[in-house]
C-alpha cells in the first residue's frame, strides 16, 4: 500500500513537553490538508498519511512541505514488518541507475536480523533481479531505504523530500512583523514562523507619496507568506502625517531615525492591543544607515517589555535573496513600487545617532499626538492561504 511517511525533527528534544509540540504539529498538518481525503496514523517517531486518492499524492506532498516542524517526507510502500514480506517486495524493485545501495533502519529491535546484515541480504536480492547493476556504498545513485517501525509495518522508499524543519507554528507564541515592500522583511517573517511564531504584520504607507501599487505589493507579499503561516492579519497604518511633521520640524539627517522610532512606538501599541509578544524586523547589520548598531539601539530603545527579533541580522544580502526566492517573495519584492521609507529620504542620514540627539529632535514634535493620529488610520486586512 502506498503511503506518505512524515518525519519530524526538533520535537525529539522537547522532553516532557513533547506531547504539546506534537499535538500542535498534528493540528497544523490537518489544517494544511483541509479538503483532502486521507487517514492519519501516528507511530513512534513517524506519522503516516494513507488512504488518500492516488491523483492527490503530489498535491498532498506539496502542502506538507510547507508545514513547520516536519523535517522530511517520503512516498513509501507499506508492508508488514516480516522478513518474508519485505523480501517479496524487494524482489520486484527495478533499479534505473547504474548503482544502488540498501539502507535498513530498525526502530523495532526485535526484528530477527541486524540492520547491516539485512541490508546486505536485500542488496543481494536486488542484484539477482537487476543484471548489470552495481552496489555503491558511499555515493549511490539510488538509495533504497527500509524503515522497520514499532507498529508492525515496514516502509520502503527511494526518495527523501526535505521539508521546512523548525518548530510547529504557534508553539512559540505570536508576534508582529514590520512588513515593508522590500526583500528582507518577508524573509524575516518566514524565519520567525519557522521557529514557531504565529505572525501578524504591520505595514506603513504614505499615500499620496506612495502609490496604491505599493500597498498591493505588500498585500501580495503577505498572501505569499500565508502558504507557510496559513493566515496573516495585516495592520495597515498611514504614516503620511508623521513623515510630513518630521520633515518640517527635525533635522534632515535624523529623518529616518526619528521615523523608525515612531514606527516602533506604533508597533508596540498594536502588539499591546492584539496580545502579541514580540516585534519582528528584517534588519541586517550594516546593510543601510538605519541598520547600524547605534541606529538599532536608538530605534529599539523606545520599546518597553517586548523583545525585538531580527532573524536576518547576520545574513548577507545574497543569503536573504536565496530564501526570498525559495519562498517566492523575491520577484514581488523587487517590483518598482516604493514604500514609505523612501519618502523624504535624506542625502546623508546619520549612521551613529545617540539617544540624546534623538530626544532633542523629538522635542520639536508632539509624539503622542502623532502616534494616536496614525493609530486612528489603522486598517485591518486578513489574508488566508488558498
Residue 121 pLDDT more than 70?
yes
| Section 261-276 average pLDDT | 98
Residues 6+ apart with CB under 8 A from 206: 238, 239, 240, 243, 339, 340, 343
**Predicted TM-score (pTM) above 0.85:** yes
Provide the pLDDT for residue 337.
72
Of the candidates 207, 172, 209, 211, the residue with the CA atom closest to the CA atom of residue 193: 172
| Section 137-146 average pLDDT | 97
Q: Which pLDDT band, with edges at 50, 70 and 90, does 359 fall under?
A: very high
Cell 508576534 belongs to residue: 175
Q: How many CA atoms lie within 13 A of 148 on its CB side?
A: 23
Cell of 366: 508632539
Provide the pLDDT for residue 228.
96
Element (H, E) at 93: none
| Section 121-141 average pLDDT | 96
For every residue of 74-103, DSSP letters joined together read EEEEEEESSHHHHHHHHTT----SSEEEEE
| Section 282-301 average pLDDT | 91
CATH architecture of 2-162: 2-Layer Sandwich (3.30)
Domain segments of the chain: what residues? 2-162, 173-384
| Section 369-379 average pLDDT | 97
Model confidence pLDDT, tens digit, residues 223-257: 999 999 999 999 999 999 999 999 999 999 999 99
Question: What span, in angstroms and rounded, lies between the C-alpha atoms of 104 and 156?
Answer: 9
> DSSP label at 86?
H
Model confidence pLDDT, tens digit, residues 184-222: 999 999 999 999 999 999 999 988 888 888 889 999 999
Q: For the chain, first and last CA: distance in Å?
A: 30
CATH architecture of 173-384: 3-Layer(aba) Sandwich (3.40)
Amino acid at each position: 500500500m502506498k503511503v506518505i511517511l512524515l518525519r519530524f525533527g526538533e520535537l525529539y528534544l522537547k522532553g516532557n513537553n513533547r506531547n504539546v509540540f506534537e499535538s500542535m504539529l498534528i493540528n497544523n498538518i490537518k489544517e494544511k490538508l483541509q479538503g483532502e481525503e486521507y487517514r492519519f496514523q501516528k507511530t513512534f517517531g513517524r506519522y503516516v498519511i494513507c488512504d488518500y486518492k492516488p491523483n492527490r499524492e503530489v498535491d498532498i506532498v506539496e502542502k506538507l512541505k510547507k508545514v513547520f516542524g516536519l523535517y522530511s517526507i517520503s512516498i513509501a510502500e507499506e508492508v508488514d514488518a516480516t522478513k518474508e514480506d519485505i523480501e517479496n517486495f524487494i524482489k520486484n524493485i527495478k533499479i534505473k541507475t547504474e548503482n544502488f545501495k540498501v539502507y535498513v533502519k530498525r526502530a523495532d529491535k526485535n526484528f530477527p536480523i541486524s540492520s547491516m546484515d539485512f541490508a546486505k541480504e536485500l542488496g543481494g536480492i536486488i542484484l539477482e533481479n537487476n543484471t548489470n547493476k552495481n552496489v555503491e556504498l558511499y555515493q549511490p545513485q539510488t538509495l533504497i531505504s527500509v524503515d522497520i517501525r514499532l507498529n508492525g509495518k515496514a516502509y520502503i522508499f527511494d526518495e527523501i523530500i526535505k521539508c521546512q524543519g523548525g518548530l510547529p507554528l504557534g508553539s512559540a507564541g505570536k508576534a508582529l512583523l514590520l512588513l515593508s515592500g522590500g526583500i528582507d522583511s518577508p524573509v524575516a517573517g518566514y524565519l520567525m514562523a519557522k521557529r514557531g511564531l504565529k505572525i501578524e504584520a504591520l505595514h506603513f504607507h504614505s499615500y499620496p507619496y506612495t502609490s496604491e501599487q505599493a500597498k498591493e505589493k505588500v498585500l501580495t507579499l503577505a498572501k505569499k507568506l500565508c502558504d507557510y503561516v496559513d493566515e496573516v492579519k495585516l495592520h495597515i497604518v498611514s504614516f503620511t502625517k508623521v513623515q510630513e511633521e518630521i520633515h518640517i520640524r527635525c533635522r534632515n539627517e535624523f529623518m529616518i531615525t526619528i521615523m523608525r522610532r515612531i514606527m516602533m512606538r506604533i508597533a508596540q501599541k498594536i502588539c499591546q492591543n492584539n496580545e502579541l509578544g514580540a516585534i519582528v524586523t528584517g534588519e541586517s547589520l550594516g546593510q543601510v544607515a538605519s541598520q547600524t548598531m547605534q541606529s538599532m539601539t536608538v530605534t529599539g530603545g523606545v520599546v518597553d517589555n517586548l523583545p525585538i527579533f531580527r532573524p536576518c541580522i547576520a545574513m548577507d544580502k545574497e543569503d536573504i535573496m536565496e530564501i526570498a526566492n525559495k519562498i517566492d517573495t523575491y520577484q514581488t519584492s523587487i517590483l518598482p513600487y516604493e514604500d514609505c521609507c523612501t519618502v523624504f529620504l535624506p542625502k546623508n542620514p546619520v549612521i551613529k545617532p545617540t539617544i540624546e540627539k534623538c530626544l532633542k529632535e523629538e522635542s520639536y514634535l508632539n509624539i503622542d499626538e502623532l502616534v494616536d493620529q496614525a493609530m486612528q488610520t489603522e486598517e485591518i486586512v486578513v489574508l488566508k492561504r488558498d
